[in-house]
Structure 1
Amino acid sequence: MNMLVDGEWRVDAYESTNEDGEFDRSESSFRNWLDGGVPEAGAAPESSEFTPESGRYHLYICRACPWAHRAAMVRQLRGLDDDISISLVQPERYDQGWEFSAEHSDPLGDHEFLHEVYTDADPEFTGRVTVPVLWDTQEDTIVNNESSEIMRMLDTAFDGNDVSLYPADLREEIDETVEAIYEPINNGVYRAGFAGNQAAYDEAVEELFDALDHWEGVLDGQRYLAGDGKRLTLADVAMFATLVRFDHVYHTHFKCNRRAIHEYPNLWGYTKDLYQTGEPSGSPDRRTGGATIRESAVAETVNMDHITRHYYVSHGDLNPKRLVPTGPDIDFTEPHNRDELPGTPPATLVGQ
């Protein structure tokens, strides 16, 4: 796979599987924090040179990428549109990695490729070029490119609206839930899709569907994942980014076809519930206790055309002819009835 080595773009410098045929995800490289951001449960807010000023930061994302999707969802739900600008790269990824285009240009540096943004931050950078990227326009550098950390920073470092996706009283449970779903589900679909042998694939698929079965059971009695299930949190953001892509991409392209998400009653209702989160601007959302989220706040972050184009076109080793399927024909706007769970009062996003 492609990566930067000492600031030079290489197309043959990274192997996605280890010697056992298992998918091996590389770690993110830029791990700075915004001043006041809370990294994890029990930790004091970070202190740094990166002050969370409105208009200072820019978020580079791809609508197709589930990791970038997490950051885009938090930005939207926290009402940070005016505080943090955002731009897209093309969904298709070829030998030069993520690229800009006439349709999706770079508003800051007029670059052709995202790897040029990385070398602007560090001319000798070695590592993979990934999204999301949180860029500081004042210091002209990358603050962070790790999605789980960007999610926490956007929720805790900025004022935004009154929504809280990482409330203090639930942080430990949110962290535990995010960790619990990461390896078998978020990363598990990739472990299955890029497995180098049958044993690695079988192990990944077994763990994936065991985990999906587990959360199907959890969601039978509560609306959301963390705590008592009454509040949407970062754990749900992390889960949704995988579930919304599952039936269109992972089920077929990554051979995760034991069962589709729309065949799980609770996971499917949960996915539709999250997709539909939002009320008309100016009208209080019952999930926020008074904070305003504009209509279809989450739906606006989902671009299924970009999602399908990216996976089926970019992975020529998995799909040599790069044909993009036309289905499945499923509707995320159908009724979900998740707000009618017995014993579950109206959900809220804000801490009590």
Structure 2
Amino acid sequence: MTPQGVFEREPVGMAERILADGSSRWPVEAGRYRLVVARACPWAHRSVIVRRLLGLEGAISMGIAGPLHDERSWRFHLDPGDRDPVLGIEYLGEAYRAADPDFDAGITVPALVDVASGQVATNGFADLTKDFSTQWTAHHRPGAPDLYPERHRAEIDEMIDSFYDSVNNGVYRCGFASTQEAYEQAYGELFDRLDALSDHLAGRRYLVGDTITEADVRLWVTLVRFDSAYHGHFKCNRHKLTEMPVLWAYARDLFATPGFGDTTDFVQVKQHYYGVHDSINPSGVVPLGPDLRGWLTPHGRDELGGRPFGDGTPPGPVAEAERVPSIG
């Protein structure tokens, strides 16, 4: 937090990359790493989506921290014995300190943990999903889509940069602002960018090209949480997502696409945001709404054309252990 009351996201503390060419100390190796996520967290959710779309479940196992945490970090309070069944730890912070006993930066999800040593290999969320697309290709499922096509990478990166600070991080800048001026600045930038994205998507199905890309994944994880958390809890209340027709239809289109809605847990989203931010919601009361049935209504976006998976195919059914509650 700056003296002006502006929320600033801290840089991650272990941003090493896992690379296929052996140039990093962490090589690509099936079965070596466990992806630790939390259903509530948008930054983690995008890694869950990409892992599923690319079919990396057999190469990278997944541990799921619960929606609640304290000063000791994300906790595996939904697992038997309150411990991750593979890593054997109660708090994710244990894996960070296994890598660095003096680690004192943010303990964040997603994190890829080296199972044998119990050490966090990386929590570099900025590169993680791109690396799933480009470094883990030997372990992609047959028919995996190209979420980061080389011919569109510059455009995808430019698009991501256009909404990272104003939308992905912008909702947090609204919610955690400690001065009126900082809040109003973040609020204005958030809705200005959402208006621009709405205009961009009015006549096209996806953000870049005619298929789902990394850019869509990154925008969508914020949109899907908008009405359940950001509109009320973070005071992003000019409009609900359901009151922004283009973005609402775009979000419903992706929600109906395998990999998106079937990895979304609205219950845990609300439990997290309303349950851990004491300074914003000191009572800890979790709202019952909104009504989620609208997510299942027709979106009409297929009339715009496009091919969700390009030359690829949809992923298969979600593994039983990774299913989320249905809203239908």
**What letter is aligned with 1:255?**
K
Tell me, yes or no, if structure 1 residue 32 matches structure 2 residue 16: yes
Correspondence 1:164-243 to 2 at 5 A? 164-226=146-208, 228=209, 230-243=210-223
8 Å Cα contact 1:33/1:46 also seen in 2: no
Tell me, yes or no, if structure 1 residue 349 matches structure 2 residue 310: yes
Number of aligned residue pairs: give it: 305
The aligned counterpart of 1:288 is: none
Match of 1:130 among 76, 99, 108: 108
SS at match of 1:177: helix
**What letter is aligned with 1:82?**
G
For residue 163 of structure 1, report the CA deviation from its aligned partner: 1.4
The aligned counterpart of 2:131 is: 153
**What letter is aligned with 2:263?**
T
The aligned counterpart of 2:255 is: 275
The aligned counterpart of 2:65 is: 89
The aligned counterpart of 1:42 is: none
**What letter is aligned with 2:40?**
A
Q: Determine which structure has the larger helix proportion and give its number.
A: 2
For residue 51 of structure 1, report the CA deviation from its aligned partner: 2.3
CA distance in 2, matches of 1:143, 1:187: 24
Gaps of 5+ in 2: 313-328
CA distance in 1, matches of 2:117, 2:26: 9
Tell me, yes or no, if structure 1 residue 313 matches structure 2 residue 275: yes
CA distance in 2, matches of 1:299, 1:102: 21
**What letter is aligned with 1:334?**
T
8 Å Cα contact 1:88/1:105 also seen in 2: no
Q: What is the percentage of aligned positions where both structures have the same residue?
A: 40
Tell me, yes or no, if structure 1 residue 254 matches structure 2 residue 254: no
Q: CA 1:276 to 1:21, structure 2 compared with 1: closer, same or farther past 3 Å? A: same
For residue 301 of structure 1, report the CA deviation from its aligned partner: 1.3
The aligned counterpart of 1:74 is: 50
For residue 96 of structure 1, report the CA deviation from its aligned partner: 2.3
For residue 46 of structure 1, report the CA deviation from its aligned partner: 7.6
For residue 259 of structure 1, report the CA deviation from its aligned partner: 0.4
The aligned counterpart of 1:5 is: none
8 Å Cα contact 1:165/1:350 also seen in 2: no
8 Å Cα contact 2:17/2:124 also seen in 1: no
Cα deviation code 1:289-316 (max 9, x no counterpart): xxxxxxxx22221000000000001011
More moved, 91-100 vs 135-144: 135-144
CA distance in 2, matches of 1:90, 1:139: 23
Cα deviation code 1:226-246 (max 9, x no counterpart): 2x3x11001000001100000
8 Å Cα contact 1:165/1:349 also seen in 2: no
For residue 99 of structure 1, report the CA deviation from its aligned partner: 1.1
The aligned counterpart of 1:100 is: 76
Cα deviation code 1:78-127 (max 9, x no counterpart): 11111100011110122322112253631333222111111011111120
**What letter is aligned with 1:65?**
C
For residue 146 of structure 1, report the CA deviation from its aligned partner: 2.0
CA distance in 1, matches of 2:238, 2:225: 15
Tell me, yes or no, if structure 1 residue 114 matches structure 2 residue 114: no
Q: CA 1:347 to 1:98, structure 2 compared with 1: closer, same or farther past 3 Å? A: closer
Cα deviation code 1:309-336 (max 9, x no counterpart): 0000101110011110011113322111
The aligned counterpart of 1:337 is: 300
Gaps of 5+ in 1: 1-16, 37-44, 279-296
